[in-house]
């Protein structure tokens, strides 16, 4: 009986030993950052007729964001104001779209948002907007790179008199990733 007990205990010991092994895995994952925005802003106007300086445009960048990995700063908001404009007045904004982060980004689209939403229909009828480059979107912007962007704002004949036009240019981005069929 003693021998049977010893055999049973040794079989149990082997079984327990096989089921109680463990493996330890350690690792570190460092995530990248997606920080996209505006940089290097200039604005101006096309030559006004008869050397008169009637209309004006001002633009500014605000809402600074500094990427935690690269230390580079971009601005999230670009606002502009067109004052004392008249039919056929053309102003322009030139700015860089900068990827200050560490992962590529896909530039999906942009939009012009007028600050006076109650008169949005009037704004849409008063302006023609053309931007260059006008690439087929999305466009990939690699880390620490930028795309130069120019937007022209042409005041149409239907624009109301004595009106100040104010708005924002907004960008929409997504983190770059492989298309589903390449994963």
Per-residue pLDDT tens digits for 114-160: 766 555 566 566 667 776 666 677 888 999 999 888 888 888 887 77
Per-residue pLDDT tens digits for 42-82: 999 887 677 777 888 999 999 999 999 999 999 999 999 98
Instruction: Tell me how many degrees the CA angle 85-91-93 measures, rounded to the nearest 5.
Output: 140
Instruction: Name residues whose C-beta falls within 8 Å of residue 103's C-beta, 6 or more positions apart in sequence.
Output: 32, 33, 34, 143, 175, 176
Domain chopping of the chain, boundaries: 36-177
């Amino acid at each position: 009986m003693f021998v049977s007990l010893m055999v049973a205990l040794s079989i149990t010991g082997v079984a327990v030993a096989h089921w109680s092994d463990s493996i330890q895995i350690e690792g570190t994952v460092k995530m990248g950052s997606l920080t996209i925005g505006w940089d290097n802003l200039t604005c101006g106007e096309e030559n006004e007729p008869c050397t008169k300086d009637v209309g004006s445009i001002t633009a500014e960048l605000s809402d600074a964001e500094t990427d935690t990995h690269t230390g580079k700063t971009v601005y999230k908001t670009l606002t502009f104001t067109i004052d004392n404009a008249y039919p056929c007045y053309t102003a322009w904004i030139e700015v860089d779209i900068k990827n200050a982060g560490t992962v590529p980004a896909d530039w999906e689209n942009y939009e012009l948002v007028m600050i006076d939403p109650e008169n949005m229909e009037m704004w849409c009828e008063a302006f023609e907007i053309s931007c260059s480059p006008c690439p087929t979107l999305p466009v990939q912007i690699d880390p620490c790179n930028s795309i130069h962007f120019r937007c022209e704002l042409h005041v149409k004949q239907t624009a109301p008199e004595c009106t100040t036009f104010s708005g924002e240019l907004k960008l929409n981005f997504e983190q770059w990733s492989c298309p589903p069929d390449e994963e």
